[in-house]
């Protein structure tokens, strides 16, 4: 898959989070056997284990008897949340300049509204743009440009 064709969502957020070296957040849950459903979620493993233990003490034949404690990892919603996307910009800025331009895509007066993001290395006076991306939203454009600048291939 081409970076320019990647859609905003969990997959893009995970690829970018890993490229940036960000630790994912753990969401602790009481999960069914094939981990497709959750019965309870909490802030910590201990909280979730206590819920399951206490529930099974009161009702040992509960439908929860086949459930277990586990977690899902997830990254911030970089590709859909502008605040999270700006965190990406802040992480890049020690090594790269980032220009975000809002306007009409392709520079056409009647063109589709979009966002252009340029990322380049400092000290090259614009001669070393390593990534230039247009997209429908700022978070998506920032994420695609960041993935390209970091050398990620989808």
Residues 54-90 pLDDT 10s: 988 888 788 888 899 999 899 999 999 999 999 999 9
| Closest alpha carbon to 98 in 117, 116, 81 | 117
Please list, residue by residue across 118-134, b when 16 or more beta carbons sit within 10 angstroms of its beta carbon and e when fewer do.
Answer: bbbeeeeeeeebebebb
> Among 68-77, 103-112, 127-136, 139-148, whose mean pLDDT is lowest?
103-112
Residues 2-32 pLDDT 10s: 999 999 999 999 999 999 999 999 999 999 8
CA atoms within 13 A on the CB side of 138: 15
Is the pTM of the predicted complex or chain greater than 0.85?
no
33 CB contacts (<8 Å, ≥6 apart)? 66, 67, 68
């Amino acid at each position: 898959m081409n970076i320019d064709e990647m859609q905003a969502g969990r997959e893009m957020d995970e690829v970018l989070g890993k490229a940036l070296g960000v630790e994912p957040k753990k969401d602790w849950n009481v999960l069914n056997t094939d981990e497709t459903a959750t019965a309870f979620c909490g802030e910590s493993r201990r909280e979730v284990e206590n819920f399951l233990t206490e529930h099974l003490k009161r009702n040992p034949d509960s439908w929860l008897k086949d459930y277990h404690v586990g977690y899902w990892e997830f990254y911030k919603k970089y590709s859909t949340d502008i605040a999270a996307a700006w965190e990406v910009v802040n992480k890049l800025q020690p090594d790269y300049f980032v220009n975000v331009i809002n306007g009409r895509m392709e520079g056409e007066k009647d063109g589709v509204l979009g966002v252009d993001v340029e990322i380049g290395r400092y000290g090259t006076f614009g001669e070393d743009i390593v990534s230039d991306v247009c997209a429908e939203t700022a978070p998506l454009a920032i994420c695609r440009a960041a993935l390209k600048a970091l050398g990620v291939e989808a």
